[in-house]
Amino acid sequence: MAVKAPWLGFLFLVSLWGLSSPALLLRRLREHIQKSQESSSLHLGIGLSQGPAAVPKQGWLEQPLDPFNASDRRTFLQRYWVNDQHRAGQDAPVFLHIGGEGSLGPGSVMAGHPAALAPALGALVISLEHRFYGLSMPAGGLDMAQLHYLSSRHALADVASALQALSRLLNVSSSSPWICFGGSYAGSLATWTRLKFPHLVFAAVASSAPLRAVVDFAAYNRVVARSLTRAAIGGSQQCLAAASAAFAEVERLLRSGPASQAVLREELGACGSLHLTEDQAELLGALQALVGGAVQYDGQAGAPLSVRQLCGLLLGNGGNGSHSTPYLGLRRAAQIVLRSMGQKCLSFSRAETVAQLRNTAPQVSGVGDRQWLYQTCTEFGFYVTCESPQCPFTQLPALPFQLELCEQVFGISAASVAQAVAQTNSYYGGQTPGASQVLFVNGDTDPWHVLSVTQNLGPSEPVLLIPSASHCLDMAPTRPSDSPSLCLGRQRIFQQLQVWLKEIKKS
Ligand SMILES: *[C@@H]1O[C@H](CO)[C@@H](O)[C@H](O)[C@H]1NC(C)=O
Ligand SMILES: *[C@@H]1O[C@H](CO)[C@@H](O)[C@H](O)[C@H]1NC(C)=O
Ligand SMILES: *[C@@H]1O[C@H](CO)[C@@H](O)[C@H](O)[C@H]1NC(C)=O
């Protein structure tokens, strides 16, 4: 059992791991999963290799801080990784794994796509960390003047110049086709590299790419609800009903005065008190993110809770049987997630979230919360809400509450967020980007797939919607437990690349 002590004093020590806002909880989960996948893939890579020479190489590129102003001579160092184990010659294809809103480790070129596809296609594998994340950090920290140089457009300019510099450095022939890969936000970047630089990038594979920016991402929780009913991953109508009931009970306790709030706090293993309405909204959001996280990362190595396990708990099949209630199941689920992520208590203090996000010192661990919040405020939105009556959980969090963070942390108004999101969609084309030779891969239980391309736009923009697959699952290292539909999906990605590469040989 997890320790349920409200150790307020320790809160700040573990603040880096604070689960304060719902979005942060999802990001922590993602990091947790990425780390576990990376470490397993590294063991695999080193185990298979002949010696230290095969271990991926790390390198640094000097890139302009402002690629759009030639008189600005400031630069920063951008990190990349290379795996040349499978390279079949100087004109072999190059698979460029594009980094997103987090650091990239050696696992990025050793396992998962594109590394898994490299041996059969003789490809050179390179990954490029995104500016302002991980160790690719310009000098000067994360204050507003610096963040001015953080956007997807800057990231794309980095890819274009890195591609040219790496071609020289690694002796890549001018006839080598470059294929960009990426998952989630980086999947959008992969799409956009092909869209904006078709003379440099031959094709792209975009996994779970949320191509349409949206301020109010209410659809997230609608997909979560639907996925909780999917029998193939262990869901059912009863499971969804139990989830709703559990949230109704949390809400009832929250509204029943200080005594019940204290009980709730104790029972959920919450770090702080629940007096403030803003903290109550954060708590509800954090619990939703916990359920959303189980759906988003269902079936992935390192995910603390699958949909099947969560439904088992909510329906009382997870231990104490007949005495259980949906609320007890949700409590238990929260404990499991907290414990597996090494957390002492469930944190949901709004004030603390804001304080953390205002910190302009780059975090040593490579976590990019402030940077990513900035990108959501200035480009993408993506605020998960639960205001509509179709949301099965609670009527919180609400959009204004989410948007307030942009104002509180960066002084960016709700109106400018809306404007920025509209600009992003007109600049990139949203869900109809018009980029050729891009394969859009999604999982149909992933809450993000509704922002991606899931309908065929034409023969050169094929789509692959993998049944019962979660967020970026196709990119994860293969496992014996992978479903037949996932294996088939991965095979189709391979076949598509084969087709494209054959066409280039002909011409
Ligand atoms: C371009 O860079 C120069 C040199 O740093 C600076 O003086 C100028 O204001 C910049 N121009 C723009 C449009 O940012
Ligand atoms: C690059 O290719 C040239 C010509 O094939 C070769 O002589 C040279 O050694 C190569 N350099 C590297 C770093 O591989
Ligand atoms: C099972 O029930 C007992 C008594 O009701 C309780 O002490 C224990 O913590 C419960 N175990 C789980 C796993 O919920």
All structural domains of the chain: 74-139+157-211+437-506 (3.40.50.1820), 215-423 (no CATH)
pLDDT (0 to 100) of residue 439 = 97
Find the helix or strand (DSSP H, E) in which 64 lies: strand 57-64
Average pLDDT, the chain: 88
Q: Cα(60)–Cα(79) distance, rounded to whole angstroms?
A: 5
The closest ligand to the CA of 67 turns out to be 1
Catalytic residue numbers read 184, 446, 471
Tell me how far the alpha carbon of residue 170 lies from the centroid of ligand 2, in angstroms: 8
Nearest to 373 by CA among 361, 385, 356, 388: 356
Helix/strand/coil (H, E, C) string of 245-271? Answer: HHHHHHHHHHHCCHHHHHHHHHHHCEC
Ligand 1 pocket test, candidate residues 72, 74, 148, 154, most atoms within 8 A of CB:
72
Residue 171: pLDDT band with limits 50, 70, 90: very high
Nearest to 240 by CA among 250, 251, 226, 221: 226
Mean pLDDT of 316-340: 83
Entry field: residues in the chain: 507
**pTM, to two decimals:** 0.90
**Helix, strand or coil, per DSSP, at residue 9:** helix
Instruction: Mention every residue, 6+ apart, whose C-beta is less than 8 A from residue 341.
Output: 17, 19, 28, 29, 32, 304
Angle at 500 between CA 499 and CA 506, to 5 degrees: 90
Mean pLDDT of 160-187: 97
Angle at 307 between CA 303 and CA 310, to 5 degrees: 90
pLDDT (0 to 100) of residue 51 = 47
* The two three-digit tokens of residue 49, written as one number: 């290799």
**Helix, strand or coil, per DSSP, at residue 391:** coil
Q: Please give all residues whose beta carbon lies within 6 A of any atom in ligand 3, as ranges.
A: 319-320, 323, 332
CB–CB of 174/164 below 8 Å?
Answer: no
Please report, rounded to a whole number, the percentage of residues in the chain having pLDDT higher than 70: 89
Ligand 3, atom 9: closest residue by C-alpha = 1
Ligand 1, atom 14: closest residue by C-alpha = 69
* The two three-digit tokens of residue 471, written as one number: 């967020």
The closest ligand to the CA of 168 turns out to be 2
Instruction: Mention every residue, 6+ apart, whose C-beta is less than 8 A from residue 375.
Output: 101, 150, 151, 152, 185
